[in-house]
Structure 1
Amino acid sequence: MHCDGLTVGQASARLGVTVRALHHWDEIGLARPSLRTAAGYRLYTTGDLERLHRVVVYRELGLGLDRIGALLDATTTDVAGTLRAQRAHVAARIDRLRRLSAGLDRMIEAQERGPLLSAEEQAAVFGPGWDPDWPSEARRRYGGTTQWQQYAEGAAARGPEEWQAVTEAMAGFERDLGEAMDAGVVPGGPEADRLVDRHREVFAPYFPLTRQMQVCLGRRFETDPGFAAHYDGIRPGLAAWFRRLIDAGARAHGIDPDTATWE
């Protein structure tokens, strides 16, 4: 029985790799144990462990097993050139990971506070009536919902210009909504249905809005003092009229506004 060498389990513990990986490297001829015990168990010598250590190092550098085998065995292989190329690859990967880390930081911040804008930027984008405490209050009330997560993910990717475009799209819609009310657009008619569909489109940057969710929002537009004041400030009675448009559009798609739920 040979005493010079380590078993697969001992080599695994020494190198910090799995026994399964050692067996695989043995099977493909990348790093094989040189000795056997009388019972047929393979043992790794000091030289075997040195080769295994190089495999582990090259693998951690991101090289594939085929490339590693070539580096270990081929006398003509330009090791320095191969490692330089791998260094460039690693540097590019580090740059990508740094950008990913920065993006994650923005997403975490957006999850915690909503728009990533200063108080001055928020006032410029959303208007002087904007309450900078609203995102904190919204997170307190809705932070555990899918919609808040969707809103925050969008907020993480937007700067002042993108938020300005979102705000202007909604303002344009609300202006046209008031003009449609003045023109006597009838709930359930083609023009009313186009307005209802457009509302979901301009609202989508906050989070996707289903028809049932839109019905629930329509209720709040009429009954919530803040929403009602906003819409009725555009046109007296606009909040209730807009709700009728939404309800009529929902009925046309088989949704009972009286029983619609947030889904």
Structure 2
Amino acid sequence: MPDTPDRAGATGAPDAEDADGLTVGQVAARLGVTVRALHHWDGIGLARPSLRTAVGYRLYTAGDVERLHRIVVYRETGLGLERIRTVLDDTTEDVTGALRAQRAQVDAQIGRLERLGTGLDRMIEAHERGLLLTAAQQAEIFGPDWNPQWPAEARARYGNTTQWRQFAERSAARGPEQWQEIADAVAGLDQSLAAAMDAGVAPGSPEAGDLVDRHREVFSAYFPLTRRMQVCLGRLYESDPGYRAHYDTIRPGLAAWFRRCVDAAARAHGIDPDTATWE
């Protein structure tokens, strides 16, 4: 068979009988490396050609090519060039130990990549589904009135918004325990709102302002909630039949009362609730 430039390749043994006097380009083609790499290894003294032509061109002998072949193999295992130099030149070097150490580093890297892959899978799923919970888990955490189709409906409506992306990124890092904590915080807030309304707390009072701040803090577990966005939510609570029914089931008139509390708090911070937008 006639000799070809890629006959050996990066992983095959070089041909010893015809390797003397090979140029840089020929050796690069045989080993699957760049000419620039060979020049670099020559420059740092890792693998220098043993022969030179009368005009100074580099020529590699069979022994040179064998050394280069070993460099390529060790480099593909992830060893750095200085470590490869030690492995090749230091007769006291424990080559097996060096390779075992490199294997341990590769295993660690594989573990990191697997964890990264798992995280990316969860992030993708969270962007697509919102909640990474089964229907049974959702019912247990959010109560029997929860509709497991709501996250899909929310994605269809808000999937292209910044808030949905923020929600998905947080959701990807949460399991049932974290969602239970959030659900408990929301339920606790609802009861505090009802108790304040029963006690005659007036919108605009310090007590009402504290509850408005608490609402923003609790709901920022889903995505950062600004005061202007909170005003928009207050409107939605009162105008949307589903939201209004939820709050009015807790206490009749609670949705309207809480909206007045939110509007009063917004005015206290220089925001006109009549013109506030979702920002």
Residue 269 (structure 2) pairs with residue 253 (structure 1)? yes
CA–CA distance in structure 2, aligned partners of residues 86 and 176 of structure 1: 59
CA–CA distance in structure 1, aligned partners of residues 248 and 239 of structure 2: 12
Give the match for residue 135 of structure 1: 151
Compare 171-180 and 85-94 and name the one that shifted more: 85-94
Give the match for residue 7 of structure 1: 24
CA–CA distance in structure 1, aligned partners of residues 217 and 68 of structure 2: 58
CA–CA distance in structure 2, aligned partners of residues 155 and 213 of structure 1: 20
Q: CA RMSD in A?
A: 2.4
Compare 33-42 and 244-253 and name the one that shifted more: 33-42
Q: Give the total of aligned pairs.
A: 260
The structure 2 residue matched to 1:239, chosen from 247, 251, 255, is 255
In the alignment, is the contact (CA less than 8 A) between 2:137 and 2:176 conserved in 1? yes
CA–CA distance in structure 1, aligned partners of residues 153 and 55 of structure 2: 71
CA change 1:6–1:254 in 2 (3 A) is farther
Larger-Rg structure: 2
- TM-score, with normalisation over the residues of structure 2? 0.83
In the TM superposition, residue 124 of structure 1 has moved relative to its aligned partner by 0.8
Residue 94 of structure 1 aligns to a residue whose secondary structure is: helix
Give the match for residue 151 of structure 1: 167
Name the aligned partner's letter for residue 90 of structure 1: V
CA change 1:235–1:19 in 2 (3 A) is farther
Residue 105 of structure 1 aligns to a residue whose secondary structure is: helix
Matches of residues 6-25 of structure 1 in structure 2 within 5 Å? 6-7=23-24, 12=28, 14-25=30-41
The structure 1 residue matched to 2:47, chosen from 31, 35, 40, is 31
In the TM superposition, residue 254 of structure 1 has moved relative to its aligned partner by 2.4
Identity, in percent, stands at 72
Give the match for residue 125 of structure 2: 109
Give the match for residue 204 of structure 1: 220
Unaligned runs of 5+ residues in structure 2 are 1-19
Name the aligned partner's letter for residue 195 of structure 1: L
Residue 71 (structure 2) pairs with residue 79 (structure 1)? no
- TM-score, with normalisation over the residues of structure 1? 0.87
Residue 195 (structure 2) pairs with residue 182 (structure 1)? no
CA–CA distance in structure 2, aligned partners of residues 257 and 11 of structure 1: 75
In the alignment, is the contact (CA less than 8 A) between 1:222 and 1:228 conserved in 2? yes
Residue 170 of structure 2 aligns to a residue whose secondary structure is: helix
In the TM superposition, residue 206 of structure 1 has moved relative to its aligned partner by 1.2
CA change 1:4–1:93 in 2 (3 A) is same
Q: Deviations over 1:126-182 (max 9, x none)?
A: 111111111111111111222212212222222222211110011101110111112
Residue 180 (structure 2) pairs with residue 164 (structure 1)? yes
CA–CA distance in structure 1, aligned partners of residues 34 and 264 of structure 2: 64
Q: Deviations over 1:182-235 (max 9, x none)?
A: 222222222222112211221122111122222222221121221111112211
CA–CA distance in structure 2, aligned partners of residues 59 and 144 of structure 1: 45
CA–CA distance in structure 1, aligned partners of residues 234 and 28 of structure 2: 64
In the alignment, is the contact (CA less than 8 A) between 1:6 and 1:45 conserved in 2? no
Compare 82-91 and 97-106 and name the one that shifted more: 97-106
In the TM superposition, residue 96 of structure 1 has moved relative to its aligned partner by 2.1
CA change 1:120–1:7 in 2 (3 A) is same
